[in-house]
Structure 1
């Protein structure tokens, strides 16, 4: 009798485990999380926290702009690059990315918008040049929460006026 109960319990456990489907969530853990895309992202870039933990946004954690030399250093470097477009268009090009706990960047995404903030492609070449410029910035400082370094999402929005970058936001 005990063997029969044991056998039935084992059989039902095996039967249930075979029929259990893997629960795949099609939504990110946090709104705005950037999912790894093998076509776009460097496979060597690593997040510092496990995938199920929330990544911080640029405005959480320590106050200030977490770049060596602050935003002014980025603006000065951008002015030296003289990145512009022959097309005299106006709008915004935003590059969003993740800074990990080592200060390395990855998971870059680009969005272009017109003056009315409607998503369009203003100038693909200009967007590509601003993406390369943003990727070249190597002075990002990790956030600290209770003394521990952590990664965070950051963005730079380039305001374009007459084909030239007129302002860097935030």
Structure 2
């Protein structure tokens, strides 16, 4: 029989984001029946489209208007990963940064913070349904940085 302490310290699914009171808004809630709250889908499950009102181009256009850039001529990738709940609200934001050759490295903390602050208020995320049930899902936006400027938004 597994030791309860060892079972609790592992996420329900690889890559799950657990609540961190220093980073996360306590008002953000996962949805669905209690038995589902320990599991969230990935952005590509249920439907294949980019689930944002206006699609990815709407995010890209908003980003262009913000004119976010780094004074440093850095290149690499900054990924903001987060959870979209069944109401389309977002929370549990986490950052990852990589060099152009995909090695973990800090590129520019100020730029990372600007991109995080840009991503958090995006409010066009659409709830997903799988087999008629609205579900929580993980989404990410990866900002490709070339010479200090965002050149592309992925996926």
Superposed CA offset, 1:48-71 (max 9, x none): 143664210001001200000000
Q: Which runs of 5+ in 2 are unaligned?
A: none
Q: Greater Rg, structure 1 or structure 2?
A: 1
C-alpha distance in 1, partners of 2:154/2:41? 19
Aligned to 1:45: 28
Alignment partner for residue 145 of structure 1, among 123, 126, 130? 130
Aligned residues: 149
**What displacement does 1:155 show?**
0.3
- 2:45 aligned residue: 60
Match of 2:89 in 1: 104
> Aligned runs of 1:64-75 on 2, under 5 Å?
64-75=49-60
Give the superposition deviation at 1:34.
Answer: 0.1
Give 1:93 deviation, angstroms. 0.1
Structure 1 stretch displaced more, 108-117 or 22-31: 22-31
**Contact 1:29–1:54 (CA under 8 A) maintained in structure 2:** yes
CA drift at 1:149: 1.2
Cα RMSD, aligned residues only: 1.2
Q: How is 1:1-170 mapped onto 2 (pairs within 5 angstroms)? A: 23-24=4-5, 25-49=8-32, 50=34, 53-170=38-155
Match of 1:5 in 2: none
Unaligned runs of 5+ residues in structure 1 are: 1-21
Aligned residues of 1:83 and 1:164 also touching (Cα < 8 A): yes
| Cα displacement string for residues 114-140 of structure 1 (whole angstroms, at most 9, x for unaligned residues) | 111111110000000000100010000
If asked which structure has higher relative contact order (CA below 8 Å, sep 6+), I would say 2
Structure with the higher fraction of residues in helix conformation:
1
Q: What TM-score comes out, normalization by structure 1 length?
A: 0.85
Question: Within 1, Cα distance between the matches of 2:153 and 2:26?
Answer: 29
CA contact (8 A) 1:29 1:52 kept: no
- TM-score where L is the length of structure 2: 0.93
Q: Cα offset for 1:147?
A: 1.9
